[in-house]
Amino acid sequence: MLRHTGLTLIAICSILSIAAHATTVVEHAFGKVRMEGRPDRIVSLYQGATDTAVALGIEPVAVVESWTEKPMYHYLRPELQGVTYLGLETQPDLERIAWLSPDLIVGASNRHRTIYPLLTRIAPTVIPGNVYDFRALLTLMAKATGRTARGEELLAQWEARVEDFRTRIRRKLGDQWPQEVAIITFRADHARIYYAGFARAVLDELGFVAPEDHRKEGWGIKLTSQESIPAMDAEAVFLFMEDDPAVQRTFDAWSSHPLWNNLQAVRKNEVYQVDPVTWNMGAGIIAANRMLDDLYRHYGLEQPALPCTDCKGCGQC
């Protein structure tokens, strides 16, 4: 009996010690990293990682500045009150990162390749393979921070919402579904069509289709001449642009061109202006959910009240 209790105690102790020092090997784009326990001190070096950290219930110790609404997008600000800013995504302040001695750094493959060796000297660093794949980013960060359960919960919620949206929009649009949509933007001196990217990935997942001519390799195309306006055509156009007078002037000039008025989306009044932060810059699970909220509202679909605990602004509860 005594011996039995002793064995049980040893077993319990060893289980406890394993739990306390749980080591996960996380594979990422630039290699493997061993993570222990549930790190809280996280440094985010790009926008999607900041969004995802907040979704996982973590306030990073330091983040890079946002591209607009500086220093941080309004939708993330309430969760990032005590955060340290590291400057721009392209050249984050390495000294400050080192001095904060973080437990984990999340960087981007297209921006932080050259500083990756330095980052690994500072703290374990993970780099997701594709910056537009917010689901892979969520899975990676959930694993690296020991929050896999939360990550799976968020993904399950997302998938349930996608399923619901697809059912409802099919019912609403009937034989108009799947709808062909284009994603365009205006800059100070040109316009762009996106063939890939965050918004396109979400729309693809929801079942929207891209116009034949937009199903190409690469991120998209810059249009510098108004003669190329017809290339934008689709049944519906989602348009986002920054709040900037120069951008507005470009848009005014292009949208008063006869070719613009000849687009089928314009004739059917199916050009919709959406928030660039949600559709193009947030690039995390929260931004994806907010984009879906936009689409529910836009198509006048009713959102089901899904039970959600510890919600971080997905807007459904």
Partner 1 sequence: MNHTLVLRTPGDRWSVKLNVRVLVVTLTLALLLAVSSVLALASGSHPTSFTEVLGALAAPEQSELALIILEIRMPRVLMAVLVGGALGSAGLILQGLVRNPLASPDVIGITSGASAAAVLYLWLGGITGTSLLLAPVAMGGAFAVALCITTLAWRQGISPYRLVLVGVGLAAALTAVTTLLLVLSPDSTAMNAYIWLTGSLYASQWHDVTALAPWLVVCWPLALIKLRHLDAQAMGEDMALGLGSALQGHRLLFLVLAVALAGSAVAYAGAVGFIGLIAPHMARRLLASGHTGLLPIAALIGSLILLYADWIGRVAFIPRDLPAGVFVAGIGAPFFVYLLYRLRRDPG
Residues binding partner 1 (CB under 8 A): 85-88, 90-96, 98-99, 101, 109-111, 113-115, 117-118, 121-122, 131, 218-220, 222, 224
Task: Dihedral sign for Cα 171, 176, 179, 185, please.
Answer: negative
Is 5 or 114 the residue whose CB approaches partner 1 more closely? Answer: 114
Angle between helices 134-144 and 285-298 (to 10 degrees): 140
Q: Which is nearer to partner 1, 46 or 73 (CB)?
A: 46
Q: Using CA of residue 29, residue 35, residue 37, residue 43, what is the dihedral sign? A: negative
How far is the C-alpha of 77 from the C-alpha of 185, rounded, in Å? 25
Q: How far is the CB of 224 from partner 1 (least distance, A)?
A: 8
Q: Which is nearer to partner 1, 99 or 299 (CB)?
A: 99
Structure token digits, residue 64: 């890079």
Q: How far apart (Å, rounded) are the C-alpha atoms in residues 76 and 33?
A: 28
Specify the residue, 49 or 55, whose C-beta has the smaller distance to partner 1: 49
Q: Are 151 and 141 in contact (CB under 8 A)?
A: yes
Least distance (Å) between residue 117 CB and partner 1: 6
CB of 177 to partner 1, least distance (A): 31
Nearer to partner 1 by Cβ, of 157 and 185: the residue is 185
Closest separation in Å from C-beta 227 to partner 1? 16
Closest CB 52 distance from partner 1, rounded Å: 19
Measured from the CB of residue 213, what is the shortest distance to partner 1 in angstroms? Answer: 18
- Residue 222 or 298 having the CB closest to partner 1: 222
Nearest-approach distance from CB 194 to partner 1, in angstroms: 10
Q: Which is nearer to partner 1, 116 or 177 (CB)?
A: 116
